[in-house]
Structure 1
Amino acid sequence: MSPSPTAPNSLPALFRRAENLAPVRCAMVHPCDHASLEGIIAAAQHQLVIPVLIGPKAKIEAVAAEHGFDISGFELIDEPFSHAAAERAALMAAHGEVEALMKGSLHTDELMHAVLRERSLRTKRRMSHVFHFDLPAYDKPILITDAALNILPSLQDKADITQNAIDVAHILGVAEPKVAILAAVETVSPEMQSTIDAAALCKMADRKQITGALLDGPLAFDNAISPKAVKIKGIESKVAGQADILVVPDLEAGNMLAKQLEYFGAADSAGIVVGARVPIALTSRSDATDTRLASMLLVQLVAHHYRQNPP
């Protein structure tokens, strides 16, 4: 699809990649607040999704009426509580009745637990979240993972998290993404587990346990994104200073980094959960409509990829 005159200025490359793609049928789980309904309506208007609203019918209609939203053309499935809405959405995804899920006004845990309970939605990999950022200070989009789902990932979890992000980069047209495994320093230290994990991930890539990208780490944040820092520190690397993907050591580090980029770095952001049979948009309650719309662009792109390449 082409961006309409009302499309956001953020992430225009995503709009270009989605050009001419048909909308995907998406379950909007418990859209019982203004932001959730506004986001899914905008996605439908831009022909990214065909919404299926799942939640308490009376409450959803009351929110729509309060804010002047027309949802008469959307399918609305009445489920009394948020956990019931999450279970119904996961079941529909498992049966192929929807191609994507989007979080409304419910806790992330409720939705993800419902997805995990539907065993047919699982793949051989751990699910993980990938942020997509456009930054004024960086010359290309950058992906950050995992800043929203896995709290203290093990080494094998990090391998899955890394491969998931590489797959998203491929879908976005980056043939061989440069992956920086972040730590506080660029040298391996037995006292810092993040540096040991980073070195192990790089060796896993050498042994083809992680494929489709160039990996390097451990790298501190400045060494990952700044050619100047790389030169000063004398680092020889095909990744350092020009990373496409940043793999953080744990959720706390990733969450703080992502929010700093958004609030201090004027970054345009989008996010998606991959590693399941369907893509999942986990938007935050504070996300603006533009951010929700950008996340649905990612969902549309990944869902279309899954039609040809089931995970």
Structure 2
Amino acid sequence: MDNTPVRYIAGAPDPDFLENRTFQEIQVGDTASMERKVTQRDIQLFAAVSGDVNPAHVDALYAKSSRFHGIIAHGMLGASLISTLLGTRFPGPGTIYLGQSLKFLKPVHIGDVLSVTATVKSMDAIKYRLVLDTYCVNQDGETVIAGEAEVMAPLEKLHIHRTSLPEPLMADKNLRYNELLQAAKRCSKIRMGVVHPCSQDALAGAVDAAALGLIDAVLIGPAERIRAIAAEHRIDLGGVELVDVPHSHAAAAKAVAMARNGEVDALMKGSLHTDELLAEVVNTQTGLRTARRISHVFVLDVPRYPKPLLITDAAINVAPDFESKVDIVQNAIDLAHALGIPCPKVAVLSAVETVTPKMRSAMDAAALAKMADRGQITGGLVDGPLAFDNAVSMAATRTKGIQSAVAGDSDVLVVPDLESGNMLVKQLEYLGDAQVAGIVLGATVPIVLTSRADTAHSRIASCAIALLWAAFKRANPE
């Protein structure tokens, strides 16, 4: 029996420096440990770096039905903590990892706190090698990983500054998307007229939304062409209603007529031009106009922003006058309510945050804010003019000394005109990696106004928004 006294490596590590223990300072029985709580973010990052997307680690639905009843960490994620202990604490910098045996004894779940321990089992004074027993034990005292490490211990004493690593950006694009779908699935599904779905994405988006139980898709367009696209891309049209019309203009007219007659509850633009559909929607005799100005609201999930961001109007009103902006703001506030935001914070954007008579956008913003103060715009907090930085950044707001309940924490951005809004949305999408969806409001039914570049994923999200809007309007008739 080995009676060598165990010496624990005492004290918490210096947060700014790494210090090793040389071979000459180590004895058999010396031990060191560290703790680490395993988070979902750890598992996602490990999967992204390693490429190991085993559904047991990344697919919550699959994992729930597995023998572990939930997501578990990769075995090598836990094992990597042994490497962390050996390379940064004991023996520390200068250690060369030569080998490691491992036994994975129990699963590691999100939220588990692992205590990682390494204890010197034997020493080779000729080759300066150590053999260490290594263990990972969870918060319940259960050993989840056990093994044996062989390392070459450092000979030179080191006390070096800890390298500061950049914070990795982990954008879970599916998180808010899934939350949106779950909210929509609590509502009664709607009949959606899909206008001229004569492209793969337009057709797949509608059919997928129907398969998810969000809508009953009614495909309005040239039937033979739609069936050919479905066959080419293996899209199952079983059970999907198809209304045959000869071309895109006829499809737009038929879809608007069906919405006006109550045959469909919403519309989705397919692969026809926006103007072609909207011309039928705004027709004063046969269209879908209401007392409100028709406007569009984009709903974005921006990875670096802590909540959904609504931007309006970046798709329909080119250069809206002040009266149009009143409706644009009110439409956006109402949509925010439908999405579960009880009192949305609305920032009316300009290039400045001061009321500047020479800038129309600044004057309009100030007047809109005052209308909200007086109850002429209801349901949200409205402030402006605000520049983009102090609309979304609390740091910029503090730096500029702005006192506002909206600044730095906006839910809705109201842009001066379509050009600035369209550029802003596309910058966030293509440079900021934002997910983009959205709908048209102000007509008698919601309209999903997709772009030819939109993915089926984006179209499904827009369908979910339309469903939530329809449910909100049923519960809050004007």
TM-score interval, normalised by the smaller of the two chains: over 0.9
1:10/1:268 contact within 8 Å kept: no
Structure 2, unpaired ranges of 5+:
1-59, 63-172
Secondary structure of the 2:376 match is coil
**4+ residue segments displaced more than 3 Å:** 7-10
Distance 1:205 1:127 in 2: 20
Alignment equivalent of 1:95, drawn from 256, 261, 278 = 261
CA distance in 1, matches of 2:182, 2:225: 36
Picking from 215, 230, 237, the partner of 1:64 is 230
Q: Does residue 1:42 correspond to 2:208, yes or no?
A: yes
CA 23–76 in structure 1, closer or farther in 2 if over 3 Å, else same: same
1:304 aligns with 2:453: no
- Partners of 2:280 and 2:287 within 8 A in 1: no
Instruction: Say whether 1:128 aligns with 2:295.
Output: yes
- Give the match's secondary structure for 2:299: strand
Is the aligned partner of 1:85 residue 2:232?
Answer: no
Which of 291, 308, 311 pairs up with 2:458? Answer: 291
SS at structure 1 position matched to 2:436: strand
Q: Distance in 2 between matches of 1:58 and 1:171?
A: 38
Q: Matched residues in 2 for 1:136 and 1:183: separation?
A: 24
Q: Structure 1 residues 228 and 270 mapped into 2: Cα distance closer, same or farther (>3 Å)?
A: same
Structure 2 CA distance for partners of 1:122 and 1:305, relative to 1, 3 Å: same
Question: Is residue 194–residue 269 contact of structure 2 (8 Å, CA) maintained in 1?
Answer: yes
What does residue range 209-288 of structure 1 map to in structure 2 within 5 Å?
Answer: 209-288=376-455
Residue in structure 1 matched with residue 364 of structure 2 by the alignment: 197
* Aligned residue in 1 for 2:274: 108
Corresponding residue pairs, total: 308
Q: Give 2:373's aligned amino acid.
A: D
Tell me which protein shows more helix as a share of its residues: 1
- For residues 228-262 of structure 1, what are the alpha-carbon distances to aligned partners after superposition, in whole Å with 9 as ceiling and x for unaligned? 00010000111100001000000000000000111
Q: Is the 8 A contact 1:4 1:46 kept in 2?
A: no
Question: Gaps (5+ residues) in structure 1?
Answer: none
Residue 9 of structure 1 deviates from its aligned partner by 4.8
1:108-157 CA deviation, whole Å, 9 max, x = no partner?
Answer: 11111111125562211101000111111111111000010100000010
CA–CA distance in structure 1, aligned partners of residues 176 and 331 of structure 2: 24
Correspondence for 2:346 among 171, 179, 185: 179
| 1:13 maps to which of 172, 175, 179 | 179
Letter in 2 for 1:140: K
% of aligned pairs identical? 56
TM-score, with length taken from structure 2: 0.63
C-alpha spacing 1:62/1:19, structure 2 compared with 1 (3 Å) = closer
Task: Give CA deviations for 1:267-295 in whole Å, capped at 9, x if unaligned.
Answer: 11111001111000001110111111100
- 2:174 & 2:235 partners in 1: Cα distance? 20
Q: Which has the higher contact order (CA 8 A, sep 6+)?
A: 1
User: TM-score normalised to the size of structure 1?
Assistant: 0.95
Q: Does 1:54 align with 2:220?
A: yes
Name the counterpart of 2:44. none
Distance 1:209 1:265, change over 3 A: same
Contact kept, 8 Å, 2:292 with 2:327, in 1: the verdict is: yes
**1:4-27 superposed Cα distances (whole Å, 9 cap, x missing partner):** 87x955523212322332221000
Partners of 2:192 and 2:266 within 8 A in 1:
yes
Separation in 1, partners of 2:340, 2:217:
27
Separation in 1, partners of 2:258, 2:229: 24
Alignment of 1:143-154 (within 5 A): 143-154=310-321
CA distance in 1 between counterparts of 2:186 and 2:406 reads: 33
Greater strand proportion: 2
Whole-Å Cα distance in 1 between the matches of residues 244 and 443 of structure 2?
25
SS in 2 for 1:144: strand
Structure 1 or 2, whichever has the larger Rg, is 2
Contact 1:145 1:248 in 2 (8 A): yes
Q: Is the 8 A contact 2:390 2:408 kept in 1?
A: yes
